[in-house]
Every structure is written in C-alpha cells, then in structure tokens.
Amino acid sequence: MAEKTNLTSNEVVDLLMDIPLEVFEWVQQAKLHVKLDDGFESIFTRDDLRHFAISRGLSLGRPDKNKLRVLIVDNDSRFTRFLVELFDTLSETIVASAVENAADAESSLLRNRFDIVLVELILTNHESLALCRRIKSDHSTRHVRLITMSHHQNEELVQRSFMLGAEACLAKPVEHQKLFDAMGLQMHIPEKGEVLRPEIYQQH
C-alpha cells in the first residue's frame, strides 16, 4: 500500500500519539525537521518522522485510532460522570472524558486529540461561546465537532453557537437517543422515564 511522502502537522501529531504543543517544541528545538510549502504550511517527510520516532523510542500509529474521542465540558459533575459511564458501558469504540470549565477544556485539548466536544451552553462567566470560538479558530482544533447542551431555551445563544460552528444544541435533560443521533452514533437504547423538554435544536 502506498504511503504519503509528506505529512501535515496534524498527521504527525496523530501518528506520534502526541500533542500539538510538544511537536511544536520539538521543531523549535530542531529535534524534528520541518519545511514550509508554498502556502507556508509546515510539512514533514515520513522518513524524517521515522528516524525521529526511532531515536526517541516512539511508535507510529494510535492504539485508539478507530475510537471516537469525546470531551464533555459541563460544571454538573453528576451529569458528566453519568455520560462518561454511559459511553463506557454502551460502546468499546468511544473514549470519553470530562472537565468542569473552559480553562480545563482548553488544557485537555492541548494535551489530547478529540473528535467531538459536548459543551454546556451556559457555563460560569459565559465561557461557552468563547470556548467554541477558540476551538474553531485554532488550526489544531478546528476539525473538532461541537455539540452544545442547555437547560435554558435561549434562542439567541443557540443561534450564536451555530454561527461559531456548533452542529446541534440539545435541550437538557438530554435524551440518550437524541444525543447519539446528534453525534452520528448508531446506538439505540430504550429511554427510562419521562424526560422534559426533549427537543433538539439543529441548524438549518
């Protein structure tokens, strides 16, 4: 099977199972060779990457490559703990973790690669929209899918989150099936008990 000769920064991070900040530091310290293409994007050769990995005892490839990595940002620790346990119980292909505020979320995004971020739309100090903006404006995280959640049906905040890149806004308490559908997961479980305000706002 043919392999790409040149790799982007994100592909290097993915292959080394590392974080963007450490790769940047290796480049700054001239430990990892990089060149710029015509568009001034960083380009790494696969041969250079192999030599670098061997010299540091690193392996290329992610053991969880086929898993969906989810970050939950919500200051309700009972809710986030429930979601993490739910994903862990129902699927072996989802790796979920949780933080309580935007600062911890940004720190986690620097240290790890995530595919989806579920964020409470009304965090303390109105951090949610700023977090969405930073995720979608940063080159290393703009690929992350955003889904917001909220107890309050504030149409203005919902629409602003859509403008900042959110794919959907789920009303809390969140119905399991609507959450799975918004995430694009083929998972089906019966709901127990009644759930208030089950509607899902989606961008049109």
**Which residues of the chain are modeled with pLDDT < 50?**
1-3, 63, 193-202, 204
pLDDT for res 99: 95
For 196, half-sphere exposure in the C-beta direction (CA atoms, 13 angstrom radius) is 6
| CATH architecture, domain defined by 6-55 | Orthogonal Bundle (1.10)
Pick the CATH number of 68-202 from 3.30.450.40, 2.40.37.10, 3.20.20.100, 3.40.50.2300: 3.40.50.2300
Where do you find CATH 3.40.50.2300 in the chain?
68-202
**What are φ and ψ of residue 126, in 5° steps?**
55, 40
Tokens of 21: 């900040």
Cα end-to-end distance, the chain, whole Å: 41
pLDDT for res 130: 93
pLDDT for res 185: 83
pTM for the full predicted model: 0.65
Where do you find CATH 1.10.1660.10 in the chain?
6-55
pLDDT tens per residue, range 84-140: 998 888 777 888 999 999 999 999 898 888 899 999 998 877 799 999 999 999 888
pLDDT for res 3: 47
Q: Is 95 helix (H, G, I), strand (E, B) or coil?
A: strand
Is there a cis peptide before residue 20, judged by omega within 30 degrees of 0?
no
pLDDT for res 106: 93
pLDDT for res 177: 86
pLDDT for res 81: 92
pLDDT for res 169: 92
By C-alpha distance, which of 167, 87, 105, 183 is closest to 141? 105
pLDDT for res 17: 61
